[in-house]
Structure 1
Amino acid sequence: MPGPDDTAEQIAALLDGIVRRQRRALKQDLEVTHGQFRLLRTLDQADRDLRPSELANQLGIVPRSATTVVDDLEAAGLVTRRPDPADRRATLVALTPAGTKVLTTIRRQRRDAMVSLIERLTPTEQADLLTLLTRLSDDD
Structure 2
Amino acid sequence: MTLYKTNHHLVQQLEEQLAKFDLTLGRWCVLVALKSSGRAMVPSEISDDLAVTRANISNLLNSLEKAGRIQRNFDPSNRRRILVSLTPEGHEIILQVWPVYEQTITQNVGNKLSREEQNQLATLLKKLV
> Which deviations, in whole Å up to 9, do the C-alpha atoms of 1:12-59 show, x marking residues without a partner?
4345334433433x1533111111111111111113201112212222
Q: Given the two structures, how large is their TM-score scaled by the length of structure 2?
A: 0.82
One-letter amino acid matched to 2:118: L
Residue 28 of structure 2 aligns with which residue? Answer: 37
Instruction: State the superposition RMSD in angstroms.
Output: 2.3
Residue 85 of structure 2 aligns with which residue? Answer: 94
- From the superposition, tell whether residues 70 and 87 of structure 1 become closer, same or farther in structure 2 (CA, over 3 Å): same
Aligned residues: 128
One-letter amino acid matched to 1:136: L
One-letter amino acid matched to 1:106: V
User: Shift of residue 96 of structure 1?
Assistant: 0.8
Please give the alpha-carbon distance, in whole angstroms, between the structure 2 residues aligned to 1:54 and 1:133: 27
Q: Is the 8 A contact 2:46 2:57 kept in 1?
A: yes
Runs of 4+ residues deviating >4 angstroms: 117-121
One-letter amino acid matched to 2:127: D
Residue 6 of structure 1 aligns with which residue? Answer: none
Please give the alpha-carbon distance, in whole angstroms, between the structure 1 residues aligned to 2:52 and 2:110: 35
Structure 2: where are the runs of 5+ without partners? none
Q: Is the 8 A contact 2:44 2:54 kept in 1?
A: yes
- Match among 13, 38, 41 for residue 5 of structure 2: 13
* Pair member with larger Rg: 1
Structure 1 SS opposite 2:83 = strand
Query: Percent identity of the aligned residues?
Result: 21
Please give the alpha-carbon distance, in whole angstroms, between the structure 2 residues aligned to 1:34 and 1:87: 31
Q: Given the two structures, how large is their TM-score scaled by the length of structure 1?
A: 0.76
Please give the alpha-carbon distance, in whole angstroms, between the structure 2 residues aligned to 1:100 and 1:23: 20
Structure 1: where are the runs of 5+ without partners? 1-8
